[in-house]
Structure 1
């Protein structure tokens, strides 16, 4: 109700045509109005600079991970297949919000079609759920690799990895599917102004002039079920992994083995800690300013996709070596291009 009241008060400061259209009674709005970051409208251009930089790094980094894994046959292993799934998920997740957000910041393109809003909502929550499932699959991979290494190649075969990936996709898709259908059935008779940069589920549902407890309870149930189950099994996996590491005879062996898990632990922390903080402040932080909620909700969806390829690129030796090798080859070709004579000799030899 606090956000809805704010929406109504903001509507009085909008241009007449927009304000007039949003005070009219309606049950099925054709469009929603995304305000961006309420209270920070004057700083939208400046806020767009770090947002755009984070998105650019995320796109380049995740496509680099996909390219390296595809081109290097030695990386065709379960760990890197899961990493590719994570890269694709990060690309879709960040792309689901940022183009529209930048449109609001740069061109004041605040309108979004009702169906497009529901589609965006579905993609955001669906791929967030998938990302959590991928982290669980990666934890299982590390558990088998460290606690039962002799059976790793027979346990995590390519068909098993494909089935795990399919299960992650189906779980995310099916659990989130009721969200847009529930949102579509509510009447929106007060306003269609969303004080956000994207169609976040709670921000949209709070605009309905109906009993939204079903949507609220289902959203909470899915969040607790997905996050609770995944975090529980990830914690169980790493409890067994740490026990196996501490049983190793030498310090070097313990450090080397733990190094294979460090990148995974880092990306887990960058995903779950901001998500938990955002959830707590959104549900219980009623005294937290609205612009902080919206700003952090954007950062939460942009920072992990940006950091994940950087963490894996720095912490994973195989990816780091392959990336350095690619850069060296590129620089060598740029600095020492073949002469036409050498190219013709090479072509004549090949022919």
Structure 2
């Protein structure tokens, strides 16, 4: 049904145009994106296999790392296959419900990753600031509760956002989405109706999850640094700090990219559209790509097991 003003009522299909302004080079942009995706899947799969098969790594720090790796694989898989379909195979159409599903999965896995990073910060806080209670505090039962919480929290907060779009927004000015994936605000801005509720709820979810997590992660690491610098032995300080370096790198790359992308979208109206879209795409692809590299380089147990796997394959 096409109303008189040219708007579309309840569209069944959206068209993702990829990166506006860079359509002529999208096929080349897809090459590094695909390379990052392959490295992310292979690297994170290696971490999951190593943690699963190595009994000495069945402890909270590495269990959370395996959870992070699984989330990274799922997050990058949500967007990249469809993105490459746009860049390489001229397949821009996506069903409305599939678009909502992609949007919901992206938000859910982003929030899950943030929750896992919070759990990892809590693990390091207890391990360094109260080491005698670490084994009893992080029981198998608590790990199960944490896993359920970081999974259910984003689902509970994301579903209302999808319902608001599905049930409240029925009239759209166009079905052409100037983005490479179904980004929440890119879809909401297409609506010809009042979208204030959708925007407010989207901001509420972002600040409830990212804001809450980053505050408690920051507080945890402030206390960790205070405790580390109070240790009497230099070697003990170095060892304690060294166990946190990989986590700090992962936290910084995830949250700095998140906030940089958020603020350029909200306040960078003078910045070209393709810069916004590239930043938001990299925000979803870079952490899954870098996380296994960071942990592979900085975590001795992971590095040793990767080398052992490679050596065993060469000898066989």
**TM-score normalized by the length of structure 2:** 0.97
For the Cα contact (< 8 Å) 2:7–2:192, is it kept in 1?
no
Tell me whether 1:68 sits opposite 2:50 in the alignment. Answer: yes
For the Cα contact (< 8 Å) 2:111–2:154, is it kept in 1?
yes
Partner of 2:189: 206
Gaps of 5+ in 1: 1-19, 334-351
Quick one: distance in 1 between partners of 2:7 and 2:286? 39
- Per-residue CA deviation, residues 25-46 of structure 1 (Å, 9 max, x unaligned), is 4210010000000010000111
Partner of 2:144: 162
Q: 2:208 aligns with which of 207, 225, 231?
A: 225
Tell me whether 1:110 sits opposite 2:118 in the alignment. Answer: no
Bigger CA drift: 246-255 or 96-105? 246-255
Tell me whether 1:52 sits opposite 2:34 in the alignment. Answer: yes
Quick one: distance in 2 between partners of 1:325 and 1:129? 34
Tell me whether 1:192 sits opposite 2:180 in the alignment. Answer: no
Tell me whether 1:32 sits opposite 2:32 in the alignment. Answer: no
Partner of 1:245: 228
Gaps of 5+ in 2: none
- Per-residue CA deviation, residues 105-129 of structure 1 (Å, 9 max, x unaligned), is 1111000000000000000011101
Partner of 2:314: 331
Q: 1:304 aligns with which of 274, 281, 287?
A: 287
Quick one: distance in 2 between partners of 1:233 and 1:99? 34
**TM-score normalized by the length of structure 1:** 0.87
Question: Matched residue of 1:177: which SS?
Answer: helix
Tell me whether 1:144 sits opposite 2:126 in the alignment. Answer: yes
Which structure has the bigger radius of gyration? Answer: 1
Tell me whether 1:315 sits opposite 2:298 in the alignment. Answer: yes
For the Cα contact (< 8 Å) 2:85–2:92, is it kept in 1?
yes
Q: Which runs of 4+ in 1 moved over 6 A?
A: none
Quick one: distance in 1 between partners of 2:276 and 2:147? 32
State the shift of 1:24 in Å.
4.6
- Per-residue CA deviation, residues 50-96 of structure 1 (Å, 9 max, x unaligned), is 00000000000000000100110000001111111111111111000
Tell me whether 1:264 sits opposite 2:247 in the alignment. Answer: yes
Quick one: distance in 2 between partners of 1:306 and 1:144? 28
Partner of 1:131: 113
Quick one: distance in 1 between partners of 2:184 and 2:24? 26
Quick one: distance in 1 between partners of 2:117 and 2:171? 37
- What RMSD over aligned residues (CA atoms) do the two structures have, in Å? 1.1
- Report how many residues are paired: 312
State the shift of 1:147 in Å.
0.7
Quick one: distance in 1 between partners of 2:172 and 2:50? 51
Question: Matched residue of 2:232: which SS?
Answer: coil
